[in-house]
Amino acid sequence: MHNLTIAQLAKGLQSKDFSSVELTQHFLARIAELNPAYNAVITVTAEQALKAAAAADKRLAAGNAPALCGIPILHKDIFCTNGVRTSCGSKMLDNFIPPYSATVVENFEQAGAVVLGKTNMDEFAMGSSNETSFYGPVKNPWAIDCVPGGSSGGSAAAVAARLAPGATATDTGGSIRQPAALCGITGLKPTYGRVSRWGMIAFASSLDQGGPMARTAEDCALLLNCMASYDDKDSTCIDRDVPDYSADLNNSIKGLKIGVPKEYFSDGLHAGTEDAVRSALAELEAQGAELVEISLPNSALSVPAYYVIAPAEASANLSRFDGVKYGYRCEDPKDLNDLYTRTRAEGFGEEVQRRILIGTYCLSAGYYDAYYGKAQQVRQLIQQDFEKAFAQVDVIMGPTCPSPAFKFGSKGDDPVAMYLEDIYTIATNLAGLPGMSVPCGMVESKPVGLQIIGNYFDEARMLNVAHQYQQATDWHDQMPESIQQGAES
């Protein structure tokens, strides 16, 4: 069963080929057997999952169940879940059990989906390799000595290892698309404001966005149908009708204009990655799409702009973690200042502390205009580049990452080298655009991702293009050798 897609599992449930309880037991068994090798899931909610599966079976028997009813999924541990530990990958929240659920979590509950547990992640979503988690690194199922990408590396590795057919994730500067590329799955970051951020623990409020991870574009469409909704509890959520993202998957892409940024194919891009991406573009061209070279002249400024804006917003958001109301608290503080200082020094990891310090500096008196204000001006230039490009083309494509998955520890001593792993993904977050990654080849026996960037609220077109590509290729069906001998299907 674990080799079936969400769409196939939904059909199997509807036709009574198996029950949701049987399906849930199967994936819980896979997690128990295989997760110790990958460290992708940090909290398993077996009892709640089986109860939800039994309830889903009753809805299915009644004959009016939603598409995702009875489908097992995992949630990234950044989404608050009522009564279940939500740690955000940090010692600071290791003991935090929310009294409420995020809107995204509630949406899946209402749809009858079965939550198997919570996935590992970079601490407070700060990282590109899933090496900063308090619970240890996640291992890439394609190469156990390599990173799965971050910060949603747990969700990506879990889907790649067939521990769940789908998972939720978040993307602040590439944290859905980059791990999706490195783990050989499909991941989608929606337009900013398309998915509610209420109950999603904030990193950088003007950049964070939740989205789905699954094996196929079709599955991501089904998940996004559930995730996307207007939420008046989130002031940044857009009040706009949610289309059926599955409706246009089979449309022809003949005549589609694909923008290919020349800046995305320059020094720093692995030769094998470039070959795989260009082969994918050639396949789409063979289906009738037109390739148009475009320029995004300010794209090189996206990384420095991001690493001013994101830490500045993180500095403000993480100031609430002080040991007073909830979360970690240092032992025997001498006074209030000691409580604050030691709680934050002991509760936050090195990367989180680094970004808080950078952000606080950028927001300090005398530096705000020179750094944060200037970065916001660059952000506008990047957005204008995309506006000009979308006046000429329908979608933009290029590599998701500059190279395949890298080995653990290989970039740990060089934060800048780590930050450059997101060089092709960050600009879409700064502009608020939707983007996704689909598997498009293998380099050194590791997956490569093709990035598709769409115009605002044009997720349906992106999914259509991705689906048509996946109908003609089988990269999304490839399975890591390390899991082929797992639990029986």
DSSP-derived secondary structure for 142-172: TBTTB---SSTHHHHHHHHTTS-SEEEEEES
Structure tokens at 333: 């503080």
CA distance to 10, 11, 20, 25, 66, per residue, from 62 (Å)? 15, 15, 14, 22, 11
Q: Which of 19, 20, 101, 175 is catalytic?
A: 175
- From 76, 91, 118, 189, active-site residue: 76
- CA-based Rg of the chain, rounded to a whole angstrom? 21
316-322 CB contacts, 8 Å cutoff, 24+ apart = 316/359, 316/363, 317/202, 317/203, 317/204, 317/205, 318/124, 318/348, 318/352, 318/356, 321/92, 321/93, 321/347, 321/348
Q: For tokens 């020179």, what's the residue?
A: 370
| Side-chain-side CA neighbours of residue 360 (13 Å) | 9
CB 195 within 8 A of CB 104: yes
Q: Cα separations (Å) of 24 from 45, 166, 455, 475?
A: 11, 13, 37, 26
411 annotated active-site: no
Written as six digits, the tokens of 60 are 């299915």
Q: Angle CA(399)–CA(438)–CA(193) in degrees, nearest 5? A: 90
User: Does a cis peptide bond (omega within 30 degrees of 0) precede residue 151?
Assistant: yes
- In the set 151, 152, 155, 437, the catalytic residue is 151
Residue 264 near residue 299, CB atoms below 8 Å = yes
Instruction: Verify whether residue 175 is a known catalytic residue.
Output: yes
H or E segment at 99? none
Cα 98–chain centre separation: 22
76 is catalytic: yes
Does residue 66 come out as left (phi exceeding 0), alpha (psi in the -120 to 50 range) or beta? beta
- Residues marked as catalytic: 76, 151, 175
